[in-house]
Amino acid sequence: MTMRRTDLLDLHEADATQLALVGGKGAQLGALSRIDGIRVPDGFCVTTDAFRRVVARVPSFDDRVERLSRSDPDDREALRTLSADIRRAVEETAIPGDLATEITGALARLGEGTAVAVRSSATAEDLPTASFAGQQDTYLNVVGPAEVLRHVSRCWASLFTERAVAYRRRNGIDHRAVQMAVVVQRMVFPEAAGVLFTADPLTGNRRTATVDAGFGLGEALVSGLVNPDVFTVRDGAVIARAIAAKQRAVHALPGGGTQEVEVDPQRQERPALTDAQVLRLVELGRRIEAHFGRPQDIEWCLADDGFRIVQSRPITTVYPIPDAGDQERHIYVSVGHQQMMTDAMKPLGLSLWQRTALVPMHEAGGRLFVDVTPRLASPASRAALLDLVGRGDPLVRDALETVLDRDDPVPPLPDTGLAEPPAGGASGPPAAGASVPSAGADPAIVPELIERSRASVAALERDLRTRSGPALFDFLLEAFEEHKRVLGDPLSMRAITAGMEATWWLNDQLGEWLGEKNAADTLTLSAPGNITSEMGLDLLDVADVIRPHPEVVAFLKGVEKGTEDEGFLDELAKLPGGTEAREAIDAYLDRYGMRCVGEIDITRPRWRERPTTLVPLILDNVRNFGPGAAAHRFAQGRAKARQKEQDVLSRLRALPDGDRRAEAAKRMIDQVRAFAGYREYPKYGIVSRSFLYKQALLEEAGRLVQADVLSEREDIFYLTFPELHDVVRSQQADDRLIRRRKDAFRSYETLTPPRVLTSDGEALTGAYRREDVPAGALAGLAVSTGTVEGTARVVLDLADADLGADDILVTRFTDPSWSPLFVGVAGLVTEVGGLMTHGAVIAREYGLPAVVGVEGATRLIRDGQRIRVHGTDGYVELLP
């Protein structure tokens, strides 16, 4: 049975279900025309069926598009030539006679001689994930059937403008998958026109709407010919207005086309809209926003004292808001900035984190946030929270204070005098002062806690072997409760807190007594039992095994270049020295194979799943270090810590009341060295558990693929845990849901998550308010003392790292998986991080000067540039 072809469709008949037929603009306009009170100019769509008929007549059309798809993305000249060739061929192809007759008849129904706008409407346009604004062409005030037909062809051809081709490539959209419809609408001759944003496009605040307005057609604003009047509206009132001198306008010509005209000098500084009209327009915008369920970028015209809506598309740049399920105000803090992983997570990863976290977590834009509103509701708990986050990441504190100082959105609760613990369960830092915090925990509990964690992971692995199908999911629900028990173990919390409190005390008191900045950084060098720093040192030992065998080294260089696949370990045994090399790598993977970049997302490929990730790091170690480097570095760090301890204690004893001060400091030094290493172990245990969950779920996914329920195993990553449970029970999956989730994930990857987000949609990153940073330097948070000068290496992917011994690693964030890289660099700069995040802890362990939280570091620092990292004072100098 052949499907009926539809070459034309009345605009009022179009809706979102016909996106493939009428394109994004056509679908949006059709939906707009059915919203009560919204006036959309009449018109019709020349559909994608008609487009396919025409391009089928273009000589070698498919071959031309195929060549464009295969062209080198960096060869702009080839892109320009190929796209121009396709445009010319489409424009020169005659429209079939029956189609031309249909279009002419539809024009006649709008009225003989009616001027129209001819507008491109691609199937990848005005989507929630990519707006494509301005990528294809629109023609205004087109008069007469022949001109309309000519401009329809020009719209089809504009699918291959150079800018549209580049935009699709940037957004990962296949040129061959996009079709073009054309919207033909009755022309509006407006007194004023412009754009309405139903949310502030800069801050994301959903309570604030902005209206840009100018005289005549909106083209004057879009082309930058004039500065618009700008009106800001909040809660039904115009709260700000900036009236521009509008010297030029664009008007329609009687015979077709448009022209620039000079505005009467007496009108130039007159507002294009009255306040009443602005409020009426925003009211219409709120109606449209409610219909589509997200903030909108709306093009409007004012004619005969009524507004016509000529386009509405989602604002794709504002950060999504967590769904709180109520109308109350909420303030959220980013989890990713605490966990040093701000990339978007897939739904299964988000879902498992939410089910195993100790506090409720809310999802937005593929990231997790904690609602801190209750903590901010009383003075005591607010002070404790601000103090804690300020110690960890001053930018989070600044962002919170910015919200609270400007407009306190939290209904105050009476102060009970008891500060609640901050989100996550850790206690707040002690106030600076001479009093010594209690030891809080016996160092002997650390081995006990580690053994408990190992036993729990081993039991989980044993139990998972015997479960499958629905029984697996029932068991996992129990395992998640054990997960939370391990994570929230009071004894473990006490050990972590003991190390943190001792660090804070030492930095505060030695700063006050001796003028020492961040003294604990040196005192914690080579602290025992740090699983994350051991991970870096153990990879040096792997390099020691490989270095004496040139054929193994040469083979691994081939793996690094991509000439060998993930099965390379099996090939190693065939080489001289290969058996020992394989055994060393396998032993390393047995201990650390559950780790990877972005490891808080269970869907990320682990080292055990993709061991080639480690090869460049191993080769760097072979090249940059000699035998025994791991033991030497550890011993060197321990010696520096001991020397620092002796220096600090002797200087303290020389002060008034020196013996008491030295005794207190000695207790805190012992405490920080006893517990600082354990700080990293709970994360290791949790990631070990998560990898076991993943392996079990992927085995289940394999069975679903065999049963033709899923197309591929990784489809489960786009389902939440309960949804996957339902699929296993029912043996049915919603392919459309999985496709929508994949599209949404791609759009989330383009977003930058804020440190703080409000329920009004305001996204804040915070700022440093410091006067001690030299002009031109980049401010950050000092997390590991020392100053180092070197060559900046901007690395966004661990697999691309190629570092020398005096290089300074500059990246967005570093979770524990980056630690093996730390052994071979001279310093560290990151965009995200805090005093107690993993990257900071390991930088101190290795004695690397480090500054974190440097906003825009990977953009402002060029790869290969000389920089100086001031790890003690918290800033980065860019050198000539």
Q: Which residue numbers are catalytic?
A: 838
Dihedral angle sign, alpha carbons of residues 850, 856, 858, 859: negative
Helices (H), 561-680: 568-572, 578-592, 615-624, 629-653, 658-675
Give the span between the Cα atoms of 568 and 612, in whole angstroms. Answer: 8
Give 403's Cβ-side CA count (13 Å radius): 31
Residue owning tokens 């993993």? 838
DSSP string covering 176-218 = GG--EEEEEEEPP--SEEEEEESS-TTT--TTEEEEEEEEB-T
Q: 383 CB contacts (<8 Å, ≥6 apart)?
A: 419
Q: 218 CB contacts (<8 Å, ≥6 apart)?
A: 190, 193, 194, 195, 299, 301, 310
- SS3 at position 240: strand
Give the span between the Cα atoms of 875 and 854, in whole angstroms. Answer: 8
What are residue 329's phi and psi, to 5 degrees? -80, 140
- SS3 at position 652: helix
Q: Do 318 and 220 contact (CB within 8 A), yes or no? A: no
Residue owning tokens 């007159």? 270
- SS3 at position 231: strand
Cα–Cα distances in Å, from 107 out to 182, 348, 686?
A: 13, 51, 66
Give which of 795, 816, 843 is closest to 616, Cα–Cα: 795
| Per-residue DSSP letter, 59 | T
Give the span between the Cα atoms of 579 and 569, in whole angstroms. Answer: 9
Give the span between the Cα atoms of 46 and 11, in whole angstroms. Answer: 10
Give kind and range of the element (H or E) at residue 551: helix 550-560
Structure tokens at 301: 């015209």
Q: Do 361 and 353 contact (CB within 8 A), yes or no? A: yes
Residue owning tokens 């559909």? 47
Please, which residues bridge with residue 261 across strands?
A: 249
| Per-residue DSSP letter, 326 | S
- Edge to edge, the sheet with strand 296-303 lists 237-242, 229-234, 208-215, 192-197, 296-303, 306-314
Residue owning tokens 């022209």? 259
Helices (H), 196-335: 219-222, 275-292
Q: How far apart are the first and last CA of the chain?
A: 71
Structure tokens at 625: 């270090």
| Per-residue DSSP letter, 434 | S
DSSP string covering 358-421 = SS--EEETTEEEEE-TGGGSSHHHHHHHHHHHHHH-HHHHHHHHHHHHH---S------S-PPP
- SS3 at position 76: helix
Residue owning tokens 């892109």? 79
Region of 275 on the Ramachandran plot (φ > 0 left; ψ -120 to 50 alpha; else beta): alpha
Give 809's Cβ-side CA count (13 Å radius): 31
- SS3 at position 565: coil
What are residue 117's phi and psi, to 5 degrees? -105, 130
Give which of 349, 348, 372 is closest to 360, Cα–Cα: 372
